[in-house]
């Protein structure tokens, strides 16, 4: 049985003037690590808040753990774990008091489920008498995760847990998630960072309340239409401008140290012409090679089509 | 090369026993795009606040656009622009009202404001939205507008604190087009980001670890130095040795 199912869910705000979630359907299997990938304002938080029974959908139905999000909201609340994007623990309670509080309201104790949070909790245990409001960002994040896990939820919702977090801490966080997954907890995680998509079992790419694509990261990459090239030269900003002006360019955009380029068509190999063109425009040390698209390439492609 | 627009020498900030910024020394040239990177808690925000004239250093020296960070903080504020992901524009004012408000604060005359706001609205393609409340615009538009407003008074330097956080990949790149345009006009860009691909777009980047600047060079040289394929690897190599985590 699927852990989470959404059927044609829509949500509007401001007297129907703002369409936040637009006819979204998907399901997440038991024990799956599922990523909702999209920029701010895409509708990720609205979806999470409906599934955690904090918001009512305008249209459509959804279930979590086989329970209806409207009718069975009380049971759902006792079963799921939710870590909101905004830090929402009690700032004036200590680390230990917060954890104890959440264990108690879910009718359990820290000892009962300690195994589940041990890996994460030992990292903040030295500070257990510190008030949550005085913790650093990374420690707040770990405490919030512990509090969301302390009642051994069947489904865990993590809303942008890595936003504003540096690259090293982001990696550590994802390693924690991988270990949690082994406990057979279904995890729904949202993120605006495209590079985190490959760490999920399946992902939904979302923009303006609509799902653009939904599949395993590998299959989304395989579905990329046409060929993609990475180009590099000594003058990168000029290179981008010149590539935009090249007659066979379909799309091109900066991508780290390269420009990613696709041609209008792949019937003919335009590479020799391109190299000539770039040399004529004074570029030196030109590198041009076909590459496998990343999820970000796929997202850009989907946004433009 | 022209005189540097940012020059710091052993600039430090202590809070009690805690050394948030530890003797950082660097220079940034006019029109340069300078990436100011570091892990959470490395001291970036504290350093940036000193450079903007918002926080008086404990020791060391720095001049921003030729003004001293101890004595001429008001002059610094008038000669820089600032935008961050968090502090944006007034959501319940319209696009034009925001432009007029911020332009007015920076001392632009009415005729300058008329001319500038028209240029800006045209450049961003916001003609239809100019009388809309900023709160109704998508995040990407807000950030592009906030940047344009931050450089409305043609400052020598603009400080950008994670300007593209949470923005979609297409808009993120359009934002960088605006940065390049500003840099072409001679405005110095001082930018922080968690997107390592954006580090590649900077002329030079510095990386702060535990309050100190550990490395400062062009992305190409840094990758060579660390035998890394990407700035992500360079960052990881440097930041994982950090003892401090977070703010």
Mean of pLDDT values over B38-66: 94
User: From the CA of A112, how many Å to the nearest CA of chain B?
Assistant: 30
Which chain A residue lies closest to B229 (C-alpha atoms)? Answer: A257
Pick from B161, B219, B246 the residue to mutate for testing the A interface (most A CBs within 10 Å). Answer: B246
Contacts of A207 in chain B (CB under 8 A): 168
Final residue of a domain: which of A166, A187, A222? A222
> Percent of chain B scored above 90 by pLDDT?
80
Both A187 and A293 in one domain: the answer is no
Per the CB < 8 A criterion, the answer to whether B129 and B141 are in contact is: yes
Which chain A residue lies closest to B238 (C-alpha atoms)? Answer: A168
Both A265 and A121 in one domain: the answer is no
Contacts of B239 in chain A (CB under 8 A): 166-168
Both A238 and A214 in one domain: the answer is no
Q: Is residue B45, in this structure, part of any structural domain at all? A: yes
Interchain CB distance below 8 Å, B194 and A166: yes
Instruction: Output the pLDDT for position A243.
Output: 96
Q: With a cut of 70, say whether residue B66 has pLDDT above it.
A: yes
From the list B138, B200, B223, the residue facing A41 with the nearest CB is B138
Q: Is residue B89, in this structure, part of any structural domain at all? A: yes
Write the DSSP assignment of A61-91 as a string of letters: EEEETTEETTTTHHHHHHHEEEE-SS--S-T
Both A178 and A252 in one domain: the answer is no
Q: Is residue B129, in this structure, part of any structural domain at all? A: yes
CA A125 → CA A93, A165, A228, A236, B25, distances in Å? 15, 21, 48, 48, 37
From the list A39, A166, A254, the residue facing B166 with the nearest CB is A39
Interchain CB distance below 8 Å, A254 and B247: no
Final residue of a domain: which of A222, A245, A260? A222
Q: Is B33 on the interface with A (CB under 8 A)?
A: no
Interchain CB distance below 8 Å, B201 and A166: no
pLDDT in tens, A62-116: 999 999 999 999 999 999 999 998 889 999 999 999 999 999 999 999 999 999 9
Name the pairing type of β-strands B33-38 and B204-209: parallel
User: From the CA of B94, how many Å to the nearest CA of chain A?
Assistant: 18
Write the DSSP assignment of A97-139 as a string of letters: HHHHHHHHHTT--TTTTHHHHHHHHHHHGGGTTSBGGGS-HHH
Q: Is B138 on the interface with A (CB under 8 A)?
A: yes
Q: Is residue B244, in this structure, part of any structural domain at all? A: no
Q: With a cut of 60, say whether residue A123 has pLDDT above it.
A: yes
Per the CB < 8 A criterion, the answer to whether B169 and A42 are in contact is: no
Give A165's pLDDT tier (boundaries 50, 70, 90). confident
Contacts of B176 in chain A (CB under 8 A): 254
Q: Is residue B222, in this structure, part of any structural domain at all? A: yes
User: Hey, how many other C-beta atoms are within 10 angstroms of the C-beta on A78?
Assistant: 11
Both A240 and A144 in one domain: the answer is no
Instruction: Output the pLDDT for position B121.
Output: 94
Instruction: Output the pLDDT for position A163.
Output: 84
Which chain A residue lies closest to B177 (C-alpha atoms)? Answer: A237
Interchain CB distance below 8 Å, A163 and B138: no
Domain that holds residue B117: 6-239
Domain harbouring B158, CATH code: 3.40.50.300
Final residue of a domain: which of A222, A248, A279? A222
Which residues of chain A approach chain B closer than 8 Å at the C-beta? 38-42, 136-139, 163-169, 171, 192, 194, 207, 236-237, 253-257, 296, 299-300, 303-304
Both A36 and A181 in one domain: the answer is yes
Pick from B169, B171, B179 the residue to mutate for testing the A interface (most A CBs within 10 Å). Answer: B169
Q: Is residue B245, in this structure, part of any structural domain at all? A: no
Domain harbouring A9, CATH code: 3.40.50.300
Q: With a cut of 60, say whether residue B246 has pLDDT above it.
A: no
**Cα–Cα distance measured from residue B50 to residue A54, given in angstroms and rounded to the nearest whole number:** 42
Contacts of A162 in chain B (CB under 8 A): none
**Cα–Cα distance measured from residue A196 to residue A120, given in angstroms and rounded to the nearest whole number:** 20
Domain that holds residue A233: 228-304
Both A194 and A140 in one domain: the answer is yes
Mean pLDDT score across all residues of chain A: 94
Q: With a cut of 60, say whether residue A187 has pLDDT above it.
A: yes
Interchain CB distance below 8 Å, B169 and A296: yes
Q: With a cut of 90, say whether residue A275 has pLDDT above it.
A: yes
Contacts of A41 in chain B (CB under 8 A): 138-139
Length of chain B: 247
Both A104 and A213 in one domain: the answer is yes
Both A190 and A56 in one domain: the answer is yes
Both A114 and A256 in one domain: the answer is no
Strand, coil or helix: A203: strand
Domain total in chain B: 1
Both A115 and A238 in one domain: the answer is no
Domain total in chain A: 2
Domain harbouring A232, CATH code: 3.30.70.2070
How much is the ipTM here?
A: 0.84
Instruction: Output the pLDDT for position B247.
Output: 41
Instruction: Output the pLDDT for position A199.
Output: 94
């Amino acid at each position: 049985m699927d852990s989470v199912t959404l059927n044609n869910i829509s949500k509007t705000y401001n007297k129907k003037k703002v369409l936040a979630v637009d006819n979204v359907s998907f399901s997440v299997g038991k024990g799956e690590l599922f990523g909702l990938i999209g920029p701010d304002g895409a509708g990720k938080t609205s979806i999470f808040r409906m599934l955690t029974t904090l918001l009512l959908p305008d249209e459509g139905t959804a279930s979590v753990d086989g329970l209806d999000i409207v009718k069975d909201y009380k049971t759902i609340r006792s079963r799921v774990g939710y870590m909101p994007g905004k830090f929402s623990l009690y700032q004036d309670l200590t680390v230990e008091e917060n954890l104890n509080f959440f264990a108690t309201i879910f009718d359990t104790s820290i000892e009962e489920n300690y195994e589940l949070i041990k890996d994460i909790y030992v990292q903040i245990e030295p500070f257990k008498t510190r008030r949550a409001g005085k913790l650093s960002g990374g420690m707040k994040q770990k405490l919030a995760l512990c509090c969301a896990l302390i009642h051994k939820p069947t489904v865990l919702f993590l809303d942008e847990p890595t936003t504003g977090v540096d690259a090293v801490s982001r990696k550590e966080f994802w390693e924690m998630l991988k270990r949690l997954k082994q406990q057979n907890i279904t995890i729904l995680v949202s993120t605006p960072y495209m590079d985190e998509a490959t760490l999920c079992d399946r992902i939904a790419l979302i923009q303006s309340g609509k799902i653009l694509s939904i599949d395993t990261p590998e299959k989304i990459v395989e579905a990329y239409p046409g060929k993609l090239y990475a180009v590099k030269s000594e003058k990168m900003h000029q290179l981008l401008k010149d590539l935009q002006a090249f007659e066979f360019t379909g799309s091109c955009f900066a991508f780290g140290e390269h420009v990613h380029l696709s041609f209008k068509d792949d019937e003919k190999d335009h590479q020799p012409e391109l190299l000539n063109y770039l040399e004529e425009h004074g570029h030196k040390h030109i590198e041009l090679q076909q590459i496998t698209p990343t999820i970000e390439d796929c997202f850009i492609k989907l946004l433009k089509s | 090369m022209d005189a540097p627009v940012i020059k710091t020498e052993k600039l430090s900030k202590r809070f009690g026993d805690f050394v948030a910024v530890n003797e950082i020394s660097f220079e940034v040239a006019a029109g340069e795009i300078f990436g100011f990177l570091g892990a959470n808690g490395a001291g970036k925000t504290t350093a940036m606040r000193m450079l903007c004239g918002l926080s008086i250093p404990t020791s060391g020296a720095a001049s921003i656009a030729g003004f001293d960070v101890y004595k001429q903080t008001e002059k610094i504020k008038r000669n820089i622009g600032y935008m961050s992901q968090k502090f944006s524009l007034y959501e319940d004012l319209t696009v034009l009202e925001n432009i007029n408000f911020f332009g007015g604060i920076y001392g632009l005359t009415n005729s300058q404001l008329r001319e500038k706001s028209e240029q800006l609205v045209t450049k961003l393609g916001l003609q239809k939205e100019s009388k809309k409340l900023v709160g109704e615009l998508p995040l990407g538009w807000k950030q592009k507008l906030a940047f344009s407003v931050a450089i409305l008074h043609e400052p020598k330097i603009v400080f950008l604190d994670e300007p593209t956080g949470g923005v979609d990949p297409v808009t993120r790149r359009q934002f960088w087009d605006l940065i390049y345009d500003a840099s072409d006009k001679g405005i110095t860009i001082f930018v922080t980001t968690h997107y390592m691909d954006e580090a590649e777009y900077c002329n030079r980047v510095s990386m702060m670890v535990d309050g100190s600047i550990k490395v400062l060079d062009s992305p190409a040289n840094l990758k060579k130095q660390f035998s890394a394929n990407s700035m992500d690897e360079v960052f990881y190599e440097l930041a994982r040795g950090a003892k401090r985590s977070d703010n």
